[in-house]
Structures are given as C-alpha cells and as structure tokens.
Structure 1
Amino acid sequence: MYRYEQHCPVARAAEVLTEPWTLLVLRELLRGAERRADIAKGVPRMSASLLTARLRTLVANGLVVEVVHHPRDKRYRLTEAGRGLRPVVDQLGRWGQRWLTPPGLRDLDTDVLLHDICGQMTQDRLPEQPLTVAVAVADALDSGRWWLALSPSGATVHRGAPPRGADVRLACTLSGLAGIWLGRQSWLRAVRDGSVVFTGQPDTVRAVLACVGVSRYATRETA
C-alpha cells in the first residue's frame, strides 16, 4: 500500500482506497457479494492473488470482516466503516457518468455488463414467477450467447443457451445495450429504432423490462 505520509484524511483514505481494483472490489461488496467467487464475477480480469491481497487490505483497515461458516465457506462482509463508503462510490459513479467520455467498444465486456444489470435488479422489481431470457449480442468478441435467470430470489447470468428454452429472447449490440443501461438511450427508443429486439409474449417482455431499468449511476434516461 502506497503511503503519502500526510495527516490529511483525504490522503489517508486514498492510501486504502485508490490502489488498483480496490474500488471495484468495494463496488461488488456494496452490491451484496460475499463469496470470493461472486466478487470475482464483477472483476473478471483481476487475478486471484491480487483479489486476495485487496481483501486482506480491506480487512486490515477495518472495512471488511471475514466470516467463516466452515473451511470451504469463507465470506467477506462490510463493516459499518465499509458500508459508509456507499455514497462515496455512488457519487464517483455518477461523476464518471456525467463528466467522462462514453466508454468505447474496447471498454465493454458482455459478461461484466450483464452481471452489472443482474446485480442491480432490486427485489421488488423481480418477476413473481421465474423467467428465462436468452441474450444474443451481435458484436461480442466471443460466443455472443448468454441467458439470464430471473426469479423472486434474484437474477443471474450464464453463458451459452438456456437449457430448457427461453421465455423471452433479446437481440442487441453490446454498445447499444451499454448505452441503454447507462441512460443515454431509453428502452422504448431502442426498441423503436431496432437497437434491441425482444421476442416473446408482450406481458412477459414487459415483465423483463420492468426488472432491468437503468444503472444506478445513469444521470438521466433519454425519452
């Protein structure tokens, strides 16, 4: 951990929080991830050893505690100090959304984007009955096929085709989906101009759209 050796609380906080990947690990913890595997889904390009190091730093500085149910079930939970960073992380996300240039295609990752979408679906927006959404991303660099499992208990993303068919099918481009999620274009306009194409029963499609919404960092949603 880099030391500024200053009394200033901004400098002292920066020592803990501004190391590479630390804020993204905190972002995942603030979304409710507790297991290493769940945290890693939001930071897929982070090595396992570096994730371990960052979690140790957060524990050492009182932002996170380790909870061990049994040797194979270690979890990481935010302390009061860690939870107190929620408005900081949220404001940083909103600042980046407002003032930085939109992400380019090289900054987009389908797994991370769909994980982000699933992770921000709130309990009251999830469907009363389980739904499966097949997602085909036209310009993805890999297989371009994913599926989402939506249920009252949560939302998860998976690679490939759903094992038992899909209730709804979504065809889109990665940049188009990212633009909607970040609030630069509304779902309604995207559907009208063909940026995204939904296939399924109208009521089921509406139920899926009600779940998704936009990112908590979106500054506004275009009509």
Structure 2
Amino acid sequence: MRGYGQYCPIARASEVFAERWTPLIVRNMALGCETFSDILRGAPGLSRTLLAARLRELQRHGLLSRDQGPGHSVRYHLTEAGTDLWQVCLALGAWGVRWLELAPEHLDPYPVLWAMCRSADPAALPDRRVVVRLDFPALRPPTRFWLLYEHGDAEVCVHSPGEEDLVVVADPAAFTRWHMGWTTWAQAVRAGHIAVTGPCDLVHAFPTWNPHSRFADVRPEPHVLAAVPASEPVRRPADTAGPKTA
C-alpha cells in the first residue's frame, strides 16, 4: 500500500491497518491462531502468497513475532503492539455492528461456525465425541458443514468427520441473527427457521456449546435491523440416528 506521506497518526496507522486482510489476520491471531494454516483457515479467500506477504509486513512493523517451534514448525504471536491493534479491530467491529447493514452476501455460514469454534469454552463442550451436521438449503448451491466436538475442542469441517449425532437445518440469515444475539435459539426454532434432529439431550445442549459473537452486546441502529435479510422456513432433517425431538 502506498503511504500517505503525512505525520498524522491516523494516516500512519492506516498505512498498516488499512491493508486488505490485515485486520482479519490480526483477528485470527487474537482468537488463538498461531500457525500459518490456522490463520489461513480463518480467512476464506486469502491466498497463501498474500498471507505470507502480510505476515512479513506485520513482523516488520513489530506487530507479531515469528518463533521456531518443534520439528521446524513456525508459530506466530501478537506482540504488545499487535495486541493493542486488536483493540482497534474490536472498536471497528462494534462500529460495524451498530451502523452497517447485513446483506445477503454477508451470510456465508463458515465464518460464523469458525468464530464459534475459536471462541468456544472447553468447559461448556460435551465430554465425549459429538459430530453435528449443518445444512443451509437456502444457499445456492446448498451448503453443508460439520462441527466436531472432541477432547474439549471444537472444529468446523468441510468434509464429514464420521458418524453424525445431530443434524441441524438452518436458514443462514436466522443462524447469523442468533449468533449476533439478535434472536434466541428457541425463537428461531419456533419460527421454523432452524430445525434440529437427534437425541433429546444433545438437541437441548447444542446451543449452549456455541458462544454468541463477542459483539452481541452491541445494539444495531434500527435501520440496520430493518435491513437484515428475511429468513426462510426449513424442513426438519430425517436422516440421522437416535430419538427424534422437536
């Protein structure tokens, strides 16, 4: 990015922060991503070449450290300056929630699922392996993901990790609204925008495993809520084992 050539701290900081993908890289690292692959996984659309370039720039500006781990592995960590920049990201996110409308192109469920997994509280997760399939039939083409809960960890998968314990069918707008704290899980289910099938104990527990967005306490302006895409009804899944429940 070409510099502004100004003394102004806003101008000088923008030369670093306003580079495409940089705020998302800082976000991913603040959420615990330490390896190149983990950072990349949390930024769909970012190329490996561009990520490598951005990491070099962030290291040059003193925002991250690059440490050699076991077996020649490399890990990245935010420095004090990088952690301070994360506070700027949080302020920007709060501003975005309050003032920017949510459009259909923003409803990709993968970033929601990825954020849920990165922010999950290990103490709240099931004490055994659980696989949850999530279908979003309103997307074109229809989109499917899996959540794997195992050993106090949560992971979003694009391929089936094994036998499914729960199946969730959700409208992406409703799922995003729930994640943002704009509606409750029970309200979305009652409205027919989310349907869950599987053993009763897992059906009731599933929403408690997944945290809301860290911006859920920020109230959007009325015009933002009014512009949220409408949700579509979904059909209850019928191809999973175990007792069925509403």
TM-score of the pair, normalised by structure 2: 0.82
Bigger Cα Rg = 2
CA distance in 1, matches of 2:100, 2:59: 31
CA contact (8 A) 1:110 1:140 kept: no
SS at match of 2:69: strand
SS at match of 1:12: helix
CA distance in 2, matches of 1:220, 1:198: 28
CA contact (8 A) 1:134 1:162 kept: no
Aligned to 1:212: 210
| 2:150 aligned with 1:115 | no
Gapped regions of structure 2 (runs ≥ 5): 226-246
CA distance in 2, matches of 1:88, 1:155: 27
Percent of matched pairs sharing the same residue: 35
CA contact (8 A) 1:41 1:112 kept: no
The alpha carbon displacement at 1:128 in A equals 2.7
CA distance in 1, matches of 2:49, 2:78: 20
| 2:215 aligned with 1:178 | no
Aligned to 1:47: 47
Letter in 2 for 1:179: R
**Greater shift in the superposed pair: 110-119 or 184-193:** 110-119
| 2:30 aligned with 1:21 | no
Moved over 4 A (4+): none
Letter in 2 for 1:193: A
Aligned to 2:7: 7
The alpha carbon displacement at 1:142 in A equals 4.2
Change (3 A) 1:193 1:143: closer
CA contact (8 A) 1:145 1:161 kept: no
Change (3 A) 1:95 1:125: farther
The alpha carbon displacement at 1:190 in A equals 0.2
Letter in 2 for 1:123: P
The alpha carbon displacement at 1:86 in A equals 2.8
Where do residues 140-219 of structure 1 align in structure 2 (5 Å cutoff)? 140-142=139-141, 144-163=143-162, 165-218=163-216, 219=218
TM-score of the pair, normalised by structure 1: 0.90
**Greater shift in the superposed pair: 64-73 or 12-21:** 64-73
**Greater shift in the superposed pair: 85-94 or 61-70:** 85-94
Count of matched residue pairs: 220
CA contact (8 A) 1:64 1:78 kept: yes
